[in-house]
Amino acid sequence: MMPCKYSIKHLCLLGLLSGFLAGCSSSVKDSAPDSYNKNWDEIPDAVPREEAKSKYGNPDSYEVFGKRYYVMDSSEGFRQKGEASWYGTKFHGQRASSGETYDMYAMTAAHKTLPLPTYVEVKNLKNGRKAIVKVNDRGPFHDGRIIDLSYAAATKLGVAETGTAPVEIRVVNNDTTKERSQAAVGIDEEYIDENGKLYVQIAAFSTEENALKLISDLREKKFHSVRIHVDNNKGKLLYRVRIGPVPTDNVAEKVLAQLKEINLNNAKIIRYN
C-alpha cells in the first residue's frame, strides 16, 4: 500500500482532526493509470532549472504520525541511498506540498526533507536505469523509503513493475544537461571517455525526443548497446545515436550492413583516436 500524501497545509489541518489516521487507512487504493503506453526509454527527464523556493513547502519542520521532520536549508551535494516507491491515480490532480498540482505523468517525486523544489538524479541500483525528477512534494512516510516517484518516473526507472526498488539519489542542477541526456538511456561514466573506441553512428538529432524514439525502434529490432552521445556546441545540443563501443572493425562493418538492411543508409563508422 502506498504511503499517504498530503500538502504541508493539509498535514497541519488534518493533524488537528481525530480522523487523521482514519484518512490514511482509507479504502481508496492507489493504482497505475488504465492506459499508459510509453516505453521507459521514451520518457524524457525533468529539465533542471533555477526556481524560487516554494512558499508552502519549506517550513522549518513539520510532523507526520508523531514524527518530526526538519527541512534542509540547502540541498548542495546531497546524496542518499534507500528504497523508492511510487504514487499514482489516488493522488493525481491533488495539491502537492509545494502548492503545485500532482501529475502522475510528469517527472516528479516526493522527499521528506529536501527543499522544494529540488532536482535529483535517481538511479535504480537493480537495473542501472537513471532519471532526473523534480522533487515538489513530501513523503514517503514509510520506514526505509527515501523517495516517492510519480508514475512516469517509476515507469522509466522500472519501479512501477516492482512497487519498490533500491535507489541512490543525488542532487543535480541546471548545469547537468549533458548528464541528464546520458542518464536517459543509461550511459555509464565509463563511456564518457571516448579515446580509442569504435562506434557505428546511425543518426543525429537536435532533440532528445527523436533520438530516444530511434533508440526504442532499434531495440525492438534487437539491436544492442544503442546509446546517445551528446555534443554541446555553445549551448546547442546535438544527440547522436550510436551503437557501441564495438570491439573490432569487422564487427562494425557487420553492424553497418544490418542497419542498411532496414534502410538506415546514412549510418557510418566512427573512431576516436
pLDDT at residue 185 in the model: 42
- Span 18-52, pLDDT tens digits: 233 333 334 457 877 877 778 888 899 999 988 99
Cα separation, 67 vs 23, whole angstroms: 17
Q: Which domains does the chain have, with CATH numbers?
A: 8-174 (2.40.40.10), 187-271 (3.30.70.1070)
Lowest mean pLDDT among 61-65, 223-227, 254-258: 223-227
Mean per-residue pLDDT for 229-249?
80
pTM of the model: 0.58
Instruction: Select the more confidently predicted residue: 59 or 212.
Output: 59
Cα separation, 41 vs 30, whole angstroms: 24
Q: Which of 107, 102, 146 is nearest to 3 (CA)?
A: 146
Percent of the chain past pLDDT 70, that is, above it, reads: 79
- Span 139-188, pLDDT tens digits: 999 888 999 999 999 999 999 989 999 999 999 975 444 444 443 443 33
Cα separation, 259 vs 117, whole angstroms: 43
pLDDT at residue 174 in the model: 57
pLDDT at residue 230 in the model: 74
- Span 94-153, pLDDT tens digits: 999 999 999 999 999 999 999 999 999 999 999 999 999 999 999 999 888 999 999 999
Lowest mean pLDDT among 66-70, 79-83, 171-175, 182-186: 182-186
Nine-digit cell at 225? 548497446
The residue type found at 166 is: P
Cα separation, 240 vs 105, whole angstroms: 27
pLDDT at residue 149 in the model: 97
pLDDT at residue 247 in the model: 84
137: β partners: 110
